[in-house]
């Protein structure tokens, strides 16, 4: 029996509202139209919830009146929680109860595997078509919320949640506008096409992470073990994602900004491994004004390039790369935020003479230029025998994510 259509619609509204809300961290002002859209989605989800609750109460009262008196619960205690739905046995449970059951079942699976689990706990978990266990939403949500804090590009780019293997870029292209009669013939390219040219979809790839836990560690409390897994997994996923979004090949992994052949604009250093302030300034003017003057415009660069940039001074002896006095805030370079991304190519010694070849520094508007396709369900497979000689249990987590440049003109490179 499938889920109630109203519950499905409520879940969709909540997911869309959460995705919109996540695009605007606390320090970023949310546009009024986005806030209004979130309110409308939440109101619709609330209406669906109320209707499902009404139907559940009616069904419950019908069952109460038709059941023998000795089956009625006369204790006077009522369960609190969100919308309730019936399981296959006709028993109603709240959202809180189902989440707690799923979390408990997941930790039981981690500790014991399928063989050691009670039948009712197995029923609380969900498997995908490959037989992998879907991590409970609360646990997966904790991991994904950590990624923007630990990673750089995920926090800058546009994120689109998806349940598909390929995602339409989905941009609205206003090709031309003008006063009076509008000619609809050939118009200049707008730079919206992803890299390579004419690409209109982004593929979702598998990002696998292995967490090995000592058998003794499995004897700790559920809360401690869940925290250990979440912290280790968040860090590993963040590292791998950032590397791919920066310099991924696009084959079996996201395509990084440094690999996007559609980004043809940039500045090559006149002398290999030599950074100059004038060249850095020129880089910002390689992108159109709407991207250069955007509040989302930022620099990303490898540590080897940052070290050289950090030594540059202006005519008054002030360093161009200025640290931010606010805790947790990035440094600034020529008025734009600077982020260290070691997934970009490091400066090599192969080009000591002549123009640079390593795209160690990128500049642009990442929210307008780079899209991340995010499948927000993480699966896990328990490996019991493979690491038995180490006294450990392996947990193979699979996160599905894609990424690609959707506006090449929004970026420019600095080759060293």
What CATH number does residue 236 fall under?
Answer: 3.90.1690.10
Number of domains in the chain: 2
Residue 102 within any structural domain of the chain: no
The pLDDT > 90 percentage for the chain reads 27
Looking at 9, 31, 55, the residue that finishes a domain is 55
pLDDT for position 354: 44
Residue 311 within any structural domain of the chain: yes
The model carries a pTM of 0.64
CB 361 within 8 A of CB 274: no
Q: Between these two residues, 180 and 220, which has the higher pLDDT value?
A: 180
Are 51 and 134 found together in one domain? no
Residue 321 within any structural domain of the chain: yes
Are 155 and 238 found together in one domain? yes
Query: Which residue shows structure tokens 């109603």?
Result: 92
Tell me the average pLDDT of the chain.
77
pLDDT for position 342: 92
Are 138 and 1 found together in one domain? no
Looking at 55, 74, 91, the residue that finishes a domain is 55
Confidence of residue 372 (pLDDT cuts 50, 70, 90): very high
CA dist 225 and 109 (Å) reads: 12
pLDDT for position 321: 93
Residue 158 within any structural domain of the chain: yes
Residue 70 within any structural domain of the chain: no
Query: Which residue shows structure tokens 């180490």?
Result: 390
Are 25 and 141 found together in one domain? no
Are 236 and 332 found together in one domain? yes
Are 17 and 138 found together in one domain? no
CA dist 246 and 253 (Å) reads: 11
pLDDT for position 79: 41
pLDDT for position 196: 40
Q: Which of the listed ranges 85-89, 217-221, 394-398 does the model predict with the highest average pLDDT?
A: 394-398
Q: Which of the listed ranges 122-131, 224-233, 266-275, 306-315 does the model predict with the highest average pLDDT?
A: 306-315
Residue 120 within any structural domain of the chain: no
Domain that holds residue 39: 1-55
Q: Which of the listed ranges 30-34, 141-145, 215-219, 225-229 does the model predict with the highest average pLDDT?
A: 30-34
Half-sphere exposure of 131 toward its Cβ, with a 13 Å CA cutoff? 3
pLDDT for position 278: 94
Q: Could you report the per-residue pLDDT of 143-162, keeping only the tens digit for each?
A: 666 666 678 998 899 988 88
Taking residues 219-241, what's their average pLDDT?
74
Residue 218 within any structural domain of the chain: yes
C-alpha distances (whole Å) from 71 to each of 57, 61, 141, 154 are 17, 13, 39, 54
Nearest to 359 by CA among 302, 277, 274: 302
pLDDT for position 120: 62
Q: Quick check: 298 pLDDT over 80?
A: yes
Q: Could you report the per-residue pLDDT of 204-224, keeping only the tens digit for each?
A: 898 888 888 777 777 665 556
Taking residues 271-299, what's their average pLDDT?
92
Looking at 55, 76, 99, the residue that finishes a domain is 55
pLDDT for position 368: 92
Are 231 and 356 found together in one domain? yes
Residue 135 within any structural domain of the chain: yes
């Amino acid at each position: 029996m499938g889920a109630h259509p109203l519950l499905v619609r409520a879940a969709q509204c909540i997911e869309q509202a959460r995705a919109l809300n996540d695009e605007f961290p606390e320090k970023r002002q949310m546009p009024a139209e986005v806030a209004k859209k979130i309110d409308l989605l939440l109101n619709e989800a609330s209406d669906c919830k109320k209707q499902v609750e009404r139907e559940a109460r009616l069904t419950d009262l019908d069952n109460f009146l038709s059941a023998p008196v000795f089956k009625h619960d006369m204790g006077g205690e009522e369960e609190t929680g969100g919308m309730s739905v019936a399981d296959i046995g006709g028993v109603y449970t709240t959202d809180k109860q189902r989440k707690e059951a799923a979390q408990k079942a997941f930790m039981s699976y981690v500790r014991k595997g399928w063989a050691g689990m009670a039948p009712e706990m197995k029923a609380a978990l969900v498997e995908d078509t490959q037989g992998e266990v879907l991590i409970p939403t609360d646990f997966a949500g904790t991991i994904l919320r950590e990624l923007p804090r630990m990673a750089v590009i995920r926090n800058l780019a546009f994120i689109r949640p998806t349940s598909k293997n390929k995602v339409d870029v989905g941009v609205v292209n206003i090709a031309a506008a003008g006063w009076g009669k509008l000619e609809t013939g050939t118009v200049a390219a707008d730079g919206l096409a992803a890299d390579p040219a004419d690409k209109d979809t982004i593929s979702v790839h598998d990002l696998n992470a292995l967490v090995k836990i000592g058998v003794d560690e499995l004897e700790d409390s559920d809360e401690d073990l869940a925290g250990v897994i979440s912290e280790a997994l968040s860090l590993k996923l963040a590292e791998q994602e950032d590397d791919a979004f920066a310099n991924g090949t696009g084959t079996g992994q996201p395509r990084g900004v440094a690999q996007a052949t559609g980004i043809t604009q940039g500045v090559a250093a006149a002398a290999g491994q030599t950074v100059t302030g004038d060249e850095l300034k020129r880089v910002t003017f390689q992108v159109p004004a709407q991207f250069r003057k955007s509040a989302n415009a930022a620099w990303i660069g490898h540590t080897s390039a940052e070290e050289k940039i950090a030594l540059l001074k202006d005519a008054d002896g002030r360093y161009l790369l200025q640290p931010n006095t606010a805790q947790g805030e990035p440094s600034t370079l020529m008025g734009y935020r600077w982020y260290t991304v070691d997934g970009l190519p490091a400066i090599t010694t192969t080009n000591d003479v002549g123009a640079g070849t390593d795209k160690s520094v990128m500049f642009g508007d990442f929210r307008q230029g780079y899209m991340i396709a995010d499948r927000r369900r993480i699966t896990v497979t328990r490996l019991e025998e493979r690491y038995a000689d180490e006294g450990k249990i392996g947990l193979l987590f699979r996160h599905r994510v894609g990424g690609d440049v959707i506006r090449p003109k929004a970026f420019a490179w600095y080759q060293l």
